[in-house]
A and B are shown apart, each in its own frame.
Chain A
Amino acid sequence: MNNRVARCSMFVTPTNPRFIDKAWTRGGDVYILDIEDSIAPAEKERCRTLIRESIQKAGKGGASIYVRINKPFVDADLPYAVWPGVNRIMLPKTESAAEMRHAHEIISRLEKERGIPEGEIELSPMIESALGAVNIHEILTATPRKIWSQGGAGGYDMAVNLGIEMFASFDQYAFPVAYVALASMALGIEATGGVFVPNPSGRVDQGDQAARQAEALHAAGIHHAGALHPAFIQPLVSGLSPTRDEIAWAHRVIEEYDRLADEGESIGTLDGKVIDKYEHDFARQTLDWAAACAAKDRYKARALACAQADVRG
């Protein structure tokens, strides 16, 4: 399965059967099984014991599965979170390299004990404080464990830390989000943040907001976004995939560039636009991303069909 494609990752609460049982029908690329802030303190113990069965339930529509653990309970949470079928552990409120190394060591031990290839599970630091943002480089380079994509440095927790009200009409996270995205890209990690989309209402359940967000991210070459409500899933999944026009254009660019190369040229024009090495490389990236999205969509469609057949019995 292609875990790189995570156009929409949605948090689900394992303790709520309504969310877990329906997740696979909603078409998300990723479900994040949460043991952290959406789980009441008194429910955390029960939540941990539900993770293993939730992986299969939430993932049967072909989605990747992440688990978000608790910063104060890393040692207690990880043995309930590291299982075959989990693609990524999300480490909230990460502020130092030491926290990453600690989680990495525990995950490595559990992978060995549970027959998971060593290093297979990704570890993603969540940057939710000013200290985490300024330490981003040491955090991202702390362990050899794979990090596919990295973003954040905005959101509720950052707002609390900075002492600001969210949902102003301007970018309140200009530095931390851009700094984290830039550090990630400098290290060859795909960035998932960096574009401000106004949302003065603060609502998290409106599809048109998701469509605006997808449009802005897509324009900035960012392929991933998070969701707190199912209404966000489809607008994000479709909005962060290349359009037919973009794919057709990319094919024409590559064709034209190849023709130029055959003639010993390196620059030309197509429909009045300059075609050169950079345009060619960008077209390749578009087709590469389109292929990855298509593969993910096929995988999800097959998984969904199987799951629906199971339901029908």
Chain B
Amino acid sequence: MSERLMPKYIRRSLLSLPIDDPQLGEQAFASWADAIILDFVRKPGTDWQKELRARMPAAIVAAARGGAEVFIRVNSDRAAAELDATVFSGIAGVVLKGVNGAEGIAQASARLDALEASRGIAAGSLEIDVEVNTAAGVWNSLEIARASRRFGTFTVNEPELCRNLGMHPEPVLEFEALEYIKSQLITVATSVGGQAQGMSYPLSLTQKNAGEEDLRKAVQRARDTGFKGAACHHASWIQVCNEGFRPSPGEIAYYRKVIAVFAEGLKRGMASVPIDGKMIDVPVDLRAKLYLEWANRAQARDDEKARAHEQ
């Protein structure tokens, strides 16, 4: 296993905002989301591309005011036209929705090559995040993730995926029916050095606002599943996600102890040392170091957003 950043991105909370919202800048600023995803509508009977090209640069600036990374959501089946109309300097990448195979992401990636060159964006810098909402997207996830060096994350769009699978899009079951699918997308994304975003059931399907305690538990379970962040259906989720998708103060204290105890063990020639009945060995020590680094990066991200809010 190569020693890569874990997670690759500090992107705990993702908030979708429409560019038509007159309060876009204020909403983005007040949200404290790690990432803002901009949505747009193609108005029939208008030159929607021309209109978007005119509006997009200002919308990107507005969305970024609070220090969030900014993404544009585009549809895979008409990606070329939508990318042409919306990709401008200032975005971190695009969220590509409805990708069913390698071809979809490869074509979008090629389009971004051209747009980066023509619009003064560093070559290869734009990321493609894939929003999974079909069985085909899940089944072909490995070829999708391997098809472009721009691939960054999978996001599970659970309501749409359920509909595609013929499942009830409301949380009517007693158990997490998509456990295997979520685990697959997390594993595949990790295998190429990326990560996955999603929420645990049933909040993954509910549009109602949840109590804070339920939300904390749901975020904890999502993190234990391997997700590194979640699309926030409500602005009220953002703070809980920002605090939940990172090592907790308790974990930080525990892993500091692990590193100290293991280092002490190594001095005595022991590579396996117990703490409270758990064996501390090389992989646990490695995890401890990765977790402390993760906590530091999450803190740095919070500091960065705080500076943006002071300006």
Contacts and interface: CB of A to CB of B under 8 A. Distances in A.
A159 B287 contact: yes
B223 interface: yes
A178 B223 CA distance: 20
B294 interface: yes
Interface string B223-267: 111101000000000000000000000010000000000000110
Contacts of A131: 1, 190-192
Nearest to A13: B272
B188 to A, nearest CB: 6
Given A202-B278, A205-B277, A173 B287 contact: no
Given A159-B287, A160-B283, A134 B221 contact: no
A178 to B, nearest CB: 7
Contact of B187 (A15, A42, A133, A228): A133
B44 interface: no
A135 B142 CA distance: 10
Contacts of A178: 180
Interface in B124-148: 142
A25 interface: no
Contact of B282 (A13, A37, A172, A176): A37
Nearest to B142: A134
A143 B284 CA distance: 32
B194 to A, nearest CB: 10
Interface string A153-175: 00011011111110010111111
Contacts of B184: 175, 179
A37 B225 CA distance: 25
A128 B1 CA distance: 9
Contacts of A39: 271
Contacts of A163: 6-7, 190, 195, 226, 228, 290, 294
Interface string B267-288: 0011110000111011110110
A38 interface: yes
A36 B282 CA distance: 9
Contacts of B283: 37, 156-157, 159-160
Nearest to A203: B277
A156 B284 CA distance: 7
A185 interface: no
Contacts of A15: 269
A6 interface: no
A161 B180 contact: no
Contacts of A128: 1
How many B residues touch the partner, as a band?
A: 35 or more
Contact of A171 (B179, B181, B251, B284): B179
Contacts of B187: 130, 133-134, 162, 175-176, 179
B270 A40 contact: yes
Which of A163, A165, A176, A203: most chain B CB closer than 10 A? A163
Given A95-B1, A129-B1, A176 B277 contact: no
Contacts, number: 119
B51 to A, nearest CB: 41
B190 to A, nearest CB: 4
A164 B225 contact: yes
Nearest to A178: B180
Contacts of B226: 162-164, 172
A73 B195 CA distance: 29
A179 to B, nearest CB: 8
Contacts of B180: 174-175, 178
A60 interface: no
Interface in A253-298: none
B183 interface: yes
B166 to A, nearest CB: 21
B186 interface: yes
A59 to B, nearest CB: 22
A203 B278 contact: yes
B88 to A, nearest CB: 32
Interface string A34-63: 001111111100000000000000000000
A93 interface: yes
A204 interface: yes
B287 A162 contact: no
Given A40-B269, A93-B1, A170 B284 contact: no
Nearest to A177: B183
Contacts of B183: 171-176
A161 B192 CA distance: 11
B286 A40 contact: no
B141 to A, nearest CB: 9
Contacts of A93: 1
Nearest to B6: A163
A134 to B, nearest CB: 5
Interface string A132-157: 01110000000000000000000011
B213 to A, nearest CB: 17
Given A38-B272, A130-B187, A161-B190, 20 more contacts: A15-B269, A37-B271, A37-B281, A38-B281, A40-B265, A129-B191, A130-B189, A131-B192, A156-B283, A157-B1, A160-B283, A160-B286, A161-B6, A163-B290, A170-B176, A170-B179, A171-B179, A174-B183, A175-B187, A203-B277
12 contacts: A93-B1, A130-B189, A134-B187, A161-B190, A163-B6, A163-B7, A164-B226, A165-B224, A170-B176, A171-B179, A179-B187, A202-B277
| A-B complex: 8 closest residue pairs judged by Cβ atoms | A175-B183, A130-B190, A40-B271, A130-B191, A156-B283, A174-B183, A175-B184, A168-B224
